[in-house]
């Protein structure tokens, strides 16, 4: 390392190294640059060098040290003294038979590389206490965590004997001699070494052996752990896909105590940090382990932390982990205002008494708190959108599906970010495809749904087949949290899911795989898996959200106001002025609400008089099962824009049996005879046009409904159902709904 070499060289010249650091950039993406000065005993700078900008201060100091070494190489002035021995040289006297004392051994371990750790344990294993074992695993984990999986596996195989000896010593030390700090650090290091269940089977077997022995100790010690230790403990079990219900129960209980005490500023209790909270939530979701009270408490903690403030301290990974965890556990909170027990004091702080939801559960935020937390996290995601990795985007897409499709809530994420999220999800396996071909099963590979999920295979019968690798399961063979979430959401979207577990597939010889796959297909429900089953006539909240998103996507490239301006300009240039023609466009969400006032029935017809770019007619066609949805527009450029939007809308997004977009005079169209539900914007219509509309209303069949804007109609055959100001275009308008009587 340049820094160590520089310090040795400076010490030989009786010089003192002094670093000064500059910082630039936003807090979540800071860069550092260090200037290194070598000072004489009198404090006079002898050498000065400045390094490059680096993402971390440690790297910046290394860069400055490397630059300073170049200046030292060209100068040999000043007195010298023998350099300080290196780490390997410092350990040399003990190699000759002198036993290091515990403190010295700990120093050697902390300054060792991974090979030195193995050598020190081989030589002085009888001197290793739980503290030394914990330090050894921590150093190994830190060294291997950043290594590629192949390099990590290769090193573990090369050091198999040394690691087995270290594992045996650790196994023998579990029990009364292990403290909570040593245990948490040992298991966290172990999880980093054995790589989250993705390594060789022998590696996973060794990890399970150690965790099986550690679990009873961990369950006993969890009650006295600090926030960092609790987070590290559950992360280790989750990372190694090891089911330990007793450990997670104890960790949840301790976390509730720490979240409550920390939020109240309890003496001697350090509050949870954002990184620890997101890691805690992620671990419980990946296990998966049911702990609704804990997730309510996390929501309450985050909301209280807004005042401190701490929520803005979440980085991109942390906030995405938190959102994904709520989705994976399907936790949307209890009753609004607190835990499920009700009673007074059910809000953030909670009160005494109150049945099953009382006590500690009342520290949670309930449904209302989860809503607020999701909104706050969305704002943070928007701030960090440029820092989101593909993994983060996949987490966000799964959260969006849960939040909007399963919970029926709405999200404020911008459309470009939604598109990035949907594009981030993918997967496949070729050997299963060859087996399907051999069985003669028609299928499509790598099909991506509009939701963003990638199906390994979509079969002609049985449903999508998902090829699940070993990391999709816990140590007991149960699906992991991520796997359960994907299956649940695919089923919610109407698919029959067939899982092909990697372990089942890999252990069978090639000839037996086809027969096993045939039996798996036979066990599925007969018939081709259609896209999501037909929803009811009236959209549920989740289906409505999907329809509105599809409409918004179809109009993403349609600038209605720009088209209208160009049309007006051409009219003026040609000396034509059409009185009463002015462009405005509905807000799909607001128009969906207005349609809800008139309760469209299956098979009715919808007509939009002056349909513009088609936003209202396509929204109606996407939300309700009209036999025909018709839009009539006078201006040809707007009509052409409507046709482009219609072409961009997928056929499966439409509920209406037929959609017609016509170019012509709307009041010459037989709308009164066709319309069961009629919509017309009156804002800029002339008095003559409104009078023609009122005369046409008399021809409407009884029970037909009419939605207009801006002004009331003076027609005795109409009964006002509702009036309300709703968003419209770039502002708002008064909407009125009538029924023909």
Other C-beta atoms closer than 10 Å to the C-beta of 118 total 20
The stretch 465-476 carries a mean pLDDT of 47
- pLDDT per position as a tens digit, 489-538: 777 776 777 777 655 665 566 667 777 777 777 765 444 344 443 433 44
Asked if 709 and 681 touch (Cβ cutoff 8 Å), the reply is: yes
Q: Is the pLDDT of residue 473 over 80?
A: no
Q: Is the pLDDT of residue 4 over 90?
A: no
CA dist 117 and 112 (Å) reads: 6
Using DSSP's 3-state secondary structure scheme, residue 728 falls into: strand
DSSP characters over 61-115? HHHHHHHHHHHHHT---S---PPPP-HHHHHHHHHTTPPPPHHHHHHHHHT--HH
- pLDDT per position as a tens digit, 549-601: 888 888 887 887 778 777 767 766 665 545 445 567 888 889 999 999 999 98
CA dist 100 and 690 (Å) reads: 98
The stretch 178-203 carries a mean pLDDT of 78
- pLDDT per position as a tens digit, 157-171: 888 889 989 988 988
Residues sharing a CB contact under 8 Å with residue 220, sequence separation 6 or more, in sequence order: 250
Asked if 163 and 195 touch (Cβ cutoff 8 Å), the reply is: no
Structure tokens at 63: 């860069």
- pLDDT per position as a tens digit, 676-726: 899 998 877 888 888 888 888 888 888 899 999 988 888 888 988 888 888
Q: In what order do the strands lie in the sheet with 464-468?
A: 443-448, 454-459, 464-468, 498-501
- pLDDT per position as a tens digit, 193-246: 887 545 556 677 778 888 888 889 889 888 889 898 999 999 988 888 888 889
Q: Is the pLDDT of residue 401 over 70?
A: yes
pLDDT at residue 21, rounded to an integer:
87
* Residue 476: pLDDT band with limits 50, 70, 90: very low
* Residue 308: pLDDT band with limits 50, 70, 90: low
User: What is the percent of the chain with per-residue pLDDT over 90, rounded to a whole number?
Assistant: 12
pLDDT at residue 197, rounded to an integer:
46
Using DSSP's 3-state secondary structure scheme, residue 466 falls into: strand
Strand 443-448 with 31-39, pairing: unpaired
Strand 628-633 with 705-709, pairing: unpaired
CA dist 250 and 556 (Å) reads: 50
Instruction: Choose between 336 and 270: higher pLDDT.
Output: 270
> What's the first-to-final CA gap in the chain, in angstroms?
88
- pLDDT per position as a tens digit, 731-740: 778 899 999 8
Asked if 209 and 252 touch (Cβ cutoff 8 Å), the reply is: no
The stretch 23-49 carries a mean pLDDT of 79
**Bridge partner residues of 448 (DSSP):** 454
pLDDT at residue 443, rounded to an integer:
64
CA dist 374 and 209 (Å) reads: 39
Phi, psi of 238 (to 5 degrees): -70, -40
Q: Is the pLDDT of residue 53 over 90?
A: no
Structure tokens at 270: 């350090």
Omega within 30 of 0 (cis) for the link into 45: no
- pLDDT per position as a tens digit, 429-458: 556 667 777 777 766 655 556 666 666 666
Omega within 30 of 0 (cis) for the link into 5: no
Q: Give CA angle at 158 (152, 161), nearest 5°.
A: 115
**Bridge partner residues of 100 (DSSP):** none
**Bridge partner residues of 726 (DSSP):** 733
Is the pTM higher than 0.85? The answer reads no
**Bridge partner residues of 718 (DSSP):** 740
Q: Is the pLDDT of residue 182 over 80?
A: yes
pLDDT at residue 75, rounded to an integer:
53
> HSE (CB half, 13 Å, CA atoms) of 206?
24
* Count, residues in the chain: 741
pLDDT at residue 359, rounded to an integer:
39
CA dist 518 and 504 (Å) reads: 14
Q: In what order do the strands lie in the sheet with 605-609?
A: 659-663, 628-633, 605-609, 677-680, 705-709, 731-740, 718-728
pLDDT at residue 598, rounded to an integer:
92
Q: Is the pLDDT of residue 297 over 50?
A: yes
Mean confidence (pLDDT) of the chain: 76
Residues sharing a CB contact under 8 Å with residue 462, sequence separation 6 or more, in sequence order: 496, 498, 521, 524, 525, 529
Q: Is the pLDDT of residue 608 over 90?
A: yes
User: How is domain 544-740 classified at the architecture level of CATH?
Assistant: 3-Layer(aba) Sandwich (3.40)
CA dist 655 and 653 (Å) reads: 7
pLDDT at residue 27, rounded to an integer:
64
| Range 34-43, long-range pairs (CB < 8 A, 24+ positions) | 34/60, 34/61, 34/63, 34/64, 35/64, 36/6, 36/61, 36/64, 36/65, 36/67, 36/68, 38/10, 38/13, 38/68, 38/72, 39/15, 40/14, 40/15, 40/16, 40/78, 41/14, 41/16
pLDDT at residue 388, rounded to an integer:
86
Q: Is the pLDDT of residue 276 over 50?
A: yes
* Residue 299: pLDDT band with limits 50, 70, 90: confident
DSSP characters over 129-185? -HHHHHHHHHHHHHHHTTS-HHHHHHHHHHTHHHHHHHHHHHHHH-STT--HHHHHH
CA dist 466 and 505 (Å) reads: 12
User: What is the percent of the chain with per-residue pLDDT over 70, rounded to a whole number?
Assistant: 73
Q: Is the pLDDT of residue 741 over 50?
A: yes
In order of 136, 144, 248, 388, the CA distances from 111 in angstroms are 10, 15, 33, 35
The stretch 123-142 carries a mean pLDDT of 90
- pLDDT per position as a tens digit, 623-670: 999 999 999 988 888 889 999 999 888 888 899 989 999 988 888 888
Q: Give CA angle at 421 (419, 423), nearest 5°.
A: 70
Instruction: Choose between 293 and 562: higher pLDDT.
Output: 293
Asked if 239 and 207 touch (Cβ cutoff 8 Å), the reply is: no
Structure tokens at 544: 């409505």
Burial tier of 363 (Cβ tally within 10 Å: 0-12, 13-18, 19+): buried
**Bridge partner residues of 466 (DSSP):** 499
- Reported in sequence order, the residue ranges of 326-453 that DSSP labels E, i.e. its strands, are 443-448
- pLDDT per position as a tens digit, 491-504: 777 677 777 765 56
Nearest C-alpha neighbor of 614 from the set 659, 664, 675, 553: 659
CA dist 462 and 192 (Å) reads: 39
Nearest C-alpha neighbor of 215 from the set 240, 193, 237: 237
pLDDT at residue 524, rounded to an integer:
58
The CATH number of the structural domain formed by 3-72 is 3.30.160.20
């Amino acid at each position: 390392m340049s820094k160590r070499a520089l310090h040795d060289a400076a010490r030989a010249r009786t010089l003192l190294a002094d670093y000064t650091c500059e910082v630039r950039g936003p807090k979540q993406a800071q860069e550092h640059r260090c200037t290194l000065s070598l000072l004489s005993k009198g404090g006079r700078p002898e050498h000065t060098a400045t390094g490059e900008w680096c993402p971390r201060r440690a790297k910046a100091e290394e860069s400055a040290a490397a630059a300073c070494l170049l200046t030292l190489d060209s100068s040999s002035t000043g007195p010298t003294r023998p350099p300080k021995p290196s780490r390997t040289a410092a350990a040399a006297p003990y190699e000759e038979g002198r036993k290091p004392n515990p403190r010295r051994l700990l120093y050697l371990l902390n300054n060792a590389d991974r090979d030195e750790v193995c050598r020190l344990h081989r030589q002085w294993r009888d001197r290793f206490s739980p503290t030394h074992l914990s330090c050894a695993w921590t150093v190994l984990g830190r060294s291997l965590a950043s290594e590629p999986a192949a390099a990590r596996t290769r090193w573990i195989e090369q050091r198999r004997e040394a690691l087995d000896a270290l594992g045996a010593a650790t196994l023998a030390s579990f029990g009364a001699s292990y403290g909570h700090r040593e245990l948490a650090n040992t298991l966290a290091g172990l999880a980093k070494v054995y790589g989250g269940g993705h390594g060789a089977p022998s590696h996973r077997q060794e990890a399970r052996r150690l965790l099986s022995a550690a679990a009873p100790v961990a369950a006993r010690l969890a009650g006295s752990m600090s926030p960092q230790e609790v987070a590290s403990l559950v992360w280790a079990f989750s990372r190694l896909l090891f089911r330990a219900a007793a450990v997670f129960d104890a960790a949840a209980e301790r976390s509730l105590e720490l979240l409550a005490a920390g939020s109240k500023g309890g003496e001697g209790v350090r509050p949870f940090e954002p990184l620890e909270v997101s890691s805690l939530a992620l671990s419980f979701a990946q296990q998966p382990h049911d702990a609704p009270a804990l997730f309510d408490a996390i929501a309450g903690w985050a909301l209280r932390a807004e005042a401190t403030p701490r929520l803005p301290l979440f980085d991109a990974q942390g906030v995405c982990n938190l959102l994904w965890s709520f989705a994976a556990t399907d936790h949307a909170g209890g009753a609004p205002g607190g835990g499920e027990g009700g009673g007074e004091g059910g809000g953030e702080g909670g009160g005494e008494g109150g049945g099953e939801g009382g006590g500690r559960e009342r520290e949670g935020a309930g449904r209302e708190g989860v809503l607020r937390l999701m909104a706050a996290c969305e704002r943070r995601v928007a701030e960090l959108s440029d820092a989101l990795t593909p993994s983060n985007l996949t987490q966000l897409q799964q959260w969006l599906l849960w939040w909007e499709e399963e919970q029926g809530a709405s999200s404020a994420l911008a459309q470009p970010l939604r598109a990035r999220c949907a594009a981030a999800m993918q997967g496949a396996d070729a050997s299963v495809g060859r087996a399907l071909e051999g069985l003669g099963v028609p299928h499509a590979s790598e099909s991506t749904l509009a939701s963003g999920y990638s199906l390994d295979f979509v079969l002609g019968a049985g449903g999508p087949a998902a090829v699940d690798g070993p990391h999709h399961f816990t140590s007991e063979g149960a699906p992991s949290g991520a796997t359960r979430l994907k299956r649940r959401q695919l089923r919610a979207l109407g698919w029959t899911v067939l899982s092909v577990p990697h372990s089942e597939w890999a252990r069978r010889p090639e000839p037996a795989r086809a027969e096993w796959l045939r039996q798996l297909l036979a066990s599925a429900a007969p018939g081709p898996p259609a896209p999501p089953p037909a929803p009811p006539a009236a959209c549920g909240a989740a289906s409505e959200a999907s329809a509105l998103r599809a409409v918004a996507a179809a109009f993403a490239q349609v600038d209605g106001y720009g088209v209208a301006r160009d049309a007006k300009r051409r009219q003026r240039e040609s000396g034509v002025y059409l009185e009463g023609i002015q462009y405005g466009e509905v807000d799909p969400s607001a128009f969906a609400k207005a349609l809800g006032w008139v309760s469209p029935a299956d098979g009715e017809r919808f007509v939009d008089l002056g349909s513009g770019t088609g936003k209202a007619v396509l929204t109606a066609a996407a939300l309700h099962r009209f036999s025909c949805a018709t839009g009539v527009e006078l201006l040809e450029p707007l009509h052409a824009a409507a046709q482009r939007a219609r072409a961009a809308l997928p056929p499966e997004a439409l509920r209406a049996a037929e959609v017609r977009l016509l170019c012509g005079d709307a009041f010459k169209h037989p709308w009164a005879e066709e319309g069961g539900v009629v919509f017309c914007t009156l804002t800029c219509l002339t008095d003559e046009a409104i009078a023609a509309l009122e005369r046409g209303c008399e021809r409407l069949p009884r029970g037909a409904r009419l939605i207009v804007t801006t002004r009331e109609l003076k027609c005795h055959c109409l009964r006002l159902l509702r009036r309300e100001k709703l968003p419209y275009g770039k502002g708002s308008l008064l909407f009125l709904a009538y029924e023909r009587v």
